[in-house]
Amino acid sequence: MMQAELLTRRQLKSAYVTVEKQTVRWKEIHQNSDQYVNSLCNLSEQLDSCERVPEKTTFLKDFPDLKIRLRAKLLGEMEKMAGKLRETLCSLQEVSNSISRQYAASMHTYQTHAGELGIHKVVQRSATEPSVADMLEWLGDIDRAVRELYLQKQFLLDTLKYDDTRQMQSLHRRWTQDSNLDTMIMGMSYHIIL
């Protein structure tokens, strides 16, 4: 095996090791964030119920500012939860960035040796190893998929409205919508013997 090919393959291998680790980390962070989303949903339901209580008829009439206070408290709590989700988002961004870096580094390594390698070497596959082209392709796909997921979550947080009950209720479903990332990365990793 040529020096150039060896270097590229070694870089790719280390990139995949990092990607695997980062995927595990992504999952952990994500599972961790579940509780925040759940309590955010819960709080929004409370807020909604609080809004709907008729003021004049119930016991609330004895405590005129109770509703306002309750509302302020609930909103404060929601802010806190959203803050936690923002922290989660930052960690997710780190994961995404780290995968991006791996992809960029692998592309860079390939491109510096591209002249030496030539196309035919790059597309050669063997029974035990995929070709360099395939591995770069998968790495690129993973990078894009992870960034897209991250962007979705960022968009969700950016457009969050505390008093929009319907949006809040669907938040949980939309937040956890990344199962296909898992299968995709797993499927690709199977091809590679690390």
Partner 1 sequence: MSSNLMVVQSDPRDAGSQRCRLGPELMTKLSLNMGDHVKLSLARSELLCKAWPRQDLAEGMLQADHFVYRDVNNRYVSEKFIEESCVEKLAVGKLLKADVAVVVAGGLKNAVVKDKSLLEMYIGQKLLNVAVFRNCTVSYADRSSIDNIAYVLVRDVECAECKLDAGYVTKKTEFNVVEVIRLEQYNQRQQSSNISLGALQRQAAVLKEAVSLPLMYPQTFDKLCINRPMGILLLGPPGVGKTSLVKTVAAECHAHLVALNGPDVFGPHPGESEENLRRVFQEAVTISEEGPCVLFIDELDALCPKRGGSGKSQENRMVAQMLTLMDGQAGRGRLVVVAATNRPNAIDPALRRPGRFDKEVHVGVPNQQEREEILRVVSRDMSLAEDVDLNRLAEMTPGYTGADLTAVCHLAAYSLLSRAQTQDKIPTQISMEALRKALAEIRPSALRGFDGTTEVSPVDWSAIGGLEDVKVKLQQAVVWPLLHTEAFSRLGLPRPKGVLLYGPPGCCKTTLVRAAAGACHATFLAVSGAQVYSPFLGESEKTISQVFQRARAAAPTIIFLDEIDSLVRKRGEGVQSGVQERVLSTLLNEMDGIGVEISRSGGLTKVAEGSSCTDQVEKKAVPVTNNNVLVVAATNRPDMLDSALLRPGRVDRTIYVPPPDLTARAEILHVHSRKMPLSQDVDIQELAHRTNLYSGADLENLCREAAMQALQQEGLDTGVVKHTHFMAALQDTAPSLNEEELQHYQTLFSK
> Which spans of this chain sit near partner 1 (rule: CB under 8 A)?
107, 110-111, 114-115, 118-120, 122-123, 133-134, 136-137, 140-141, 144, 147-148, 151-152, 154-156, 158-159, 161, 174
Name the token pair of 138. Answer: 């998968």
For partner 1, the closer of residues 81 and 153 by Cβ is: 153
In the complex, least distance from residue 4 CB atom to partner 1, rounded to whole angstroms: 13
Instruction: State how far the Cα of 98 lies from the Cα of 18, in Å rounded to an integer.
Output: 8
Instruction: State how far the Cα of 50 lies from the Cα of 45, in Å rounded to an integer.
Output: 8
In the complex, least distance from residue 64 CB atom to partner 1, rounded to whole angstroms: 33
Which residue is it, tokens 């989700």?
A: 85
For partner 1, the closer of residues 57 and 159 by Cβ is: 159
The DSSP H or E segment spanning 19 is helix 3-52
In the complex, least distance from residue 103 CB atom to partner 1, rounded to whole angstroms: 9
Cα Dmax for the chain: 85
For partner 1, the closer of residues 63 and 155 by Cβ is: 155
Q: What type of residue is 111? A: Q
